[in-house]
Structure formats: C-alpha cells, structure tokens
Amino acid sequence: MDKPFEPACVFSERAQQLTSSAIREILKVTERPEVISFAGGLPSPAGFPVEVVREAFDRVLSSNGRAALQYGPTEGYAPLREWVAQDLNRAGASVTADQILIVSGSQQGLDLLGKVLVDRDSKVLVEDPSYLGALQSFSLYQPRFAPVPTDDGGLIPEALTPELAEGGRFLYALPNFQNPTGRTLNRERREALVLRAAQLGLPIVEDDPYGELRYAGEPLPSLLSLGRECGANVIRLGSFSKVLAPGLRLGYIAADRGIIHKLVQAKQATDLHTPTLTQMAVYEMVKDGFLARHLPTVREIYRRQGRAMLEAVEREFPASASWTRPEGGMFLWVTLPSHIDSQQLLMQAIEQNVAFVPGGPFYAGTPSRNTLRLSFATVPEDRIQAGIAVLGKLIRQQA
C-alpha cells in the first residue's frame, strides 16, 4: 500500500488553506477526446490570430530585439499603457497612462489587489454567485466574504446596504456577461451601483474580461466611466486573453495613481515586470487598429455557438428548468428544479461523456446546488447539440 503524501516542508497557514479549482479538476476528466466538455471557460482557438501574432513578434525582434529581451519597468511598456488609456477613454473613461499597470493576465491583477487591499478577516463583497478564480485568489488573504444578492438582472444595487458595506474593502463585480451566469447589468443598475458605492465610500473592482465579446444588444458604459461622474472609486481589470489569446498572459489594471503605486510595489516583489517582449508584440498588434478589425470575427464565433446552445437547451431541457440568455461572453447559467443536485448530475453526465461545472463552487455564501454553468466557446455546434441532448435526457428523468 502506498504511503500517504508527506510534505517535505512545513506549509504556511495560507498554503494549508489552498484548494484545487473545481473546474480544473473536472478538466482532467475532459482530456479524453470522447468527452463533450461544457466545463472550461477557455476562449475558442478559432479566434486566435496566429499569423498576426507571429508577425508581431518577428517585427519586434527584428527591429528592437535587444530591448525586447531586456528587463523593463514594473509599470509596463509605456506605449502599451498609453494605448490602453486611450482605448478606455474612447469608451468614456478619463484616465492617463500613469493610471495603468500592465499585469501578467488579469488573474495576476486579482492577486495583486488581494495583496494590497485584503487583510485576514477583512470584509470583501462579492456577487452571489461570482467568478471562481477571484474567490480563490482573494481567499489566499483570508477575508470574510459578504455575498451581495443577485437576480436575473445581475447584482441588485439596493441590496448594497450600509450594513452590508460597512467595513468592506471593496465590491468585486463583473458587469458584462458575468462568469458564471452570463448576466449583464443594465444601465440603470450600473448608475445606481456606482452612485450607491460612492455614497458608501466603497471601492468597486470592475472585472471586464468579456466586455468586447458582445454579439447582441447595445454596448453599455463601464463602471469606471460612470464612476468618474459621481466620484466612485472604481478599479478596472481588463485582459487581452479573450480578444487575442490567453497564452499571451497580458492584462491591465486601471486605478487612481495612489492605488497603482502600491500595486507596482507589490508586483515588484512578485515578478519584477510583465514580459517586455510580449508587451511590445501586443502593442505592435493593436497600435494600428488590428483589434477593431479582428473582434467581429471573434464575436461571430461566440454568437453562432451561443445560439446553437440556446436552441439546443430550449429544445432538450424540461420547462421546469430555466437559463440565462446572454448577449455576449461564453456562458449559460442553468437553474434546475430544487431537488436536483448538479454535482450528482455531473457524475451521471460524465458516465455518458458529457461534462459541465456544478454551480456550488461559484458561491461565497450558501450554494444553490441546483445550478450549473455551461460554456459553449470551444465546442462545435454538432457536439453542442449532442451534449445538450444527453443532459436534457438526464434532467428530464429527474424533473
């Protein structure tokens, strides 16, 4: 019999609290080619501009290779920071390049914010449910999560009471095509949210990795731009992962200069700076408008596959189930009859080579175990139909 694992070191209290991502554990199962996986939140590889990326790296190395391979400033490559600031300002923000920090993917941004804003037992407000990666990242710093109620329209601004906000370090929110639900805050709720946060003195961390993936409806102003109008303190996270490629590991934080200064200090202790070569190559790609030309292709991929999933769900799922109808992004959120446990449903589905993510891990508070997340981003339309048919049959058997 194998001996139990014995660590060679004494782990810190923080390390002892680490757990594996529920999604990553499910993805191990989905490595089998026969499995139809709606589990991963990965972008579609069909949208990766491989040749454009290659040409950008070639140009940088040919024209400025020695600088690209050298250490760089922690704040990030200055032309890219300037581009990000201008891009945000075109959408109604009012920021300058010195209010931008380039990070190694927005997931690093979440970690840095946890380092500089969260102490043990400090209160962090999160949507209920919320992005699992953020919950994991913030959990390292041992906060007390305070879930903010949501409904079919997303976060409910009126639920942000003085009692709930008291002592809160910040509210973490995803206003566009939220992960996991796919919901989007309408303009009225956005305005009410930033106004209420300003009145309560509560900073908002606006995470917007999916905002450019809108394929229906009209674009809405960011919380950052609305916050400037009423004095709300909004810290915005953005990413190139969903619009170019996640392997680039490039994102940004936009915030007041004092916050950026402290984040820079934390990043210096973490990795010194985001890779210079990657930053310079991404700037080569975006500086002349390639991103604006490329995004319609990416949006069409998600529009088509999202429509295929919605049509399949409407055809195969029983009337006792309900689901979101996102205007963008990569996810559907399904609510089953209350007696169905989605974790048990997953075990049954895996036996038939279909996978998804149960809803429970996305809740910081009491989980709704009759919920689940479906991602359509990487699944061809014919396999979407086949996989949803399997799930529909399993759900109808229990409904």
Q: Residue for token digits 């710093």? A: 141
The pTM assigned to this predicted structure is 0.94
How would residue 154 be classed by pLDDT, with cut points 50, 70 and 90?
very high
Q: Express each pLDDT in 202-223 by its tens digit.
A: 999 999 999 999 999 999 999 9
Average pLDDT over residues 181-185: 98
pLDDT (tens digit, 9 = 90+) per residue, 330-377? 999 999 999 999 999 999 999 999 999 999 999 999 999 999 999 999
What pLDDT, on a 0 to 100 scale, did the predictor assign at position 9?
Answer: 85
User: What is the tens place of the pLDDT at every residue in 10-37?
Assistant: 888 788 777 766 666 666 766 788 999 9
Q: Which residues pair with 155 in a beta bridge?
A: 150
Return the pLDDT at 75.
98
Read off the pLDDT of each residue in 28-53 and give the average, rounded to a whole number: 89
364, 127 contact by CB (below 8 A) = no
35 has which bridge partners?
none
Q: Give the model confidence (pLDDT) of 125-140 as tens digits.
A: 999 999 999 999 999 9
Asked if 241 contacts 270 with a C-beta cutoff of 8 angstroms, the reply is no
Average pLDDT of the segment spanning 83-110: 97
pLDDT digits (tens, 9 = 90+) for 283-334: 999 999 999 999 999 999 999 999 999 999 999 999 999 999 999 999 999 9
At 349, list the tokens. 């589905």
What structural domains and CATH numbers belong to the chain? 13-49+292-398 (3.90.1150.10), 70-290 (3.40.640.10)
